[in-house]
Amino acid sequence: MIDSAKMVVYAGRSNPGLARKICRYLDNGSGSNDMVLNSNFSDGEVRIEFKDNIRLRDVFLIQSTNQPDQNLIELLLMIDAAKRASAARITAVIPYFGYGRQDRKDESRAPIAASLMIKILVAAGANRIITMDLHAGQIQGFADIPIDNLYGKPVLVKYVLEYFAGRLHEVVVASPDVGGIKRARAYAKKINNAPLVIVDKRRPQPNAVEVVNIIGEVKNKIVLVIDDIIDTAGTFVDGAKAIVAAGAQEVYGVCTHPVLSGGAVDRLISSPVNSLLVTDTISLSNQALICPKIKVVSVANIIAEAMLRSRTGESVSDLFN
């Protein structure tokens, strides 16, 4: 727990490593692991209990809502417990916002899950949400409470610039689809104004992709494929294969949220991808942690600084200018 001028920080069990780093930043390097009592009944039902008095405190709850859905339930119960314990303000710090990919009604009888998740969080008692790289920026419009959407770009770009120092003139930035052009363009601007290419594809069904064409020149280039989420890695690997077939010298991936479900790690290992750079918004599996192709950089300092600024009233957007 971090306790400074009525500010307290607790974390669920979804990503303890990231939570500890955030706490160390907030507590000048001496953050405690004694955050909140999270447990389960014998049948798996989640049980929450705050061990300290949080009456009239400014409470920050850190929890990514990736699978299993227990992470979401745990966050909701933490919010409800804090509300019933008379916390003055409750901020849900959600490094990875699950269900963000279902941000619109793209089929006749499909839900808008992102909107529903926001409504549930607000109904539970959240007064503010801090998250990172929402799949769609318009998700912020689903809420009547403030949402700070942070960006992993600063730490990812910093690593790329250092890694490819002296070779930046060979780098091309690729968007894995038309929807990601804005994101890829923002990275390209920061990476020595690199050229931008697009992987044109068709998606016959979820998690299945047919790559159609590479729009732009990649021959003899170092290609960075920029995405916000890599789930099964099928889309990413198929795009990388098409890029290599078009004559690229090397292919790298850069993404904020490494969901990496199913056989994603095995696909990466057997793919022509040189490496995949990700952040720690999601706790990686043991297989992913030891995978030589996966490199992790931390966004803990960005999240911690945003938490401080949301409390003091300083500008959060200045973190990214």
Q: Are residues 57 and 135 in the same domain?
A: yes
142, burial (CB in 10 Å: exposed 0-12, middle 13-18, buried 19+) = middle
Q: Are residues 239 and 181 in the same domain?
A: yes
Q: Are residues 102 and 164 in the same domain?
A: no
Q: Are residues 128 and 81 in the same domain?
A: yes
Q: Are residues 266 and 289 in the same domain?
A: yes
Query: How many beta carbons lie within 10 A of that of residue 118, not counting itself?
Result: 24
Higher pLDDT: 195 or 45? It is 195
Question: What's 250's domain CATH number?
Answer: 3.40.50.2020
Q: Are residues 304 and 293 in the same domain?
A: no
Q: Are residues 248 and 196 in the same domain?
A: yes
* Phi, psi angle pair for 105, to nearest 5°: -90, 90
Q: Are residues 162 and 264 in the same domain?
A: yes
Read out DSSP for 92-118?
EEESS-TTTT--S--STT---HHHHHH
Q: Are residues 286 and 313 in the same domain?
A: no
Residue 269: the pLDDT is: 96
Minimal CA–CA distance to 226: which of 154, 297, 298, 173? 173
Helices and strands: H and E segment counts in the chain: 9, 15
User: What does the DSSP 8-state code read for residue 195?
Assistant: -
Contact 22, 281 (CB under 8 A): no
The four Cα atoms 266, 267, 273, 274 give a dihedral, to 10 degrees, of 0
Minimal CA–CA distance to 2: which of 49, 54, 65? 54
The CA-atom distances, in angstroms, between 99 and each of 10, 68, 112, 259 are: 23, 12, 9, 12
Q: Are residues 260 and 131 in the same domain?
A: no
Residue 163: the pLDDT is: 95
Mark out the alpha helices in 91-249 (DSSP H runs): 113-124, 153-163, 181-190, 234-245
Q: Are residues 161 and 291 in the same domain?
A: yes
Tokens of 70: 């227990």
Q: Residue 213 pLDDT more than 90?
A: no
What average pLDDT does this structure show over 211-232?
91
pTM score, two decimals? 0.90
| Location of structure tokens 């949220």 | 257
Where in the sequence numbering do the catalytic residues fall? 201
Q: Are residues 132 and 217 in the same domain?
A: no
What average pLDDT does this structure show over 227-248?
92
Tokens of 86: 């008379």
What average pLDDT does this structure show over 72-82?
96
What's the pLDDT band for 3 if we cut at 50, 70, 90?
very low
Minimal CA–CA distance to 213: which of 237, 197, 190? 197
Per this entry, what is the length of the chain?
Answer: 321
Count of structural domains within the chain: 2
* Structural domain boundaries enclosing 279: 153-297
Q: What is the pLDDT of residues 268-297, one digit of tens each?
A: 999 999 999 999 999 999 999 999 999 999
**d(C-alpha 137, C-alpha 281), whole Å:** 18
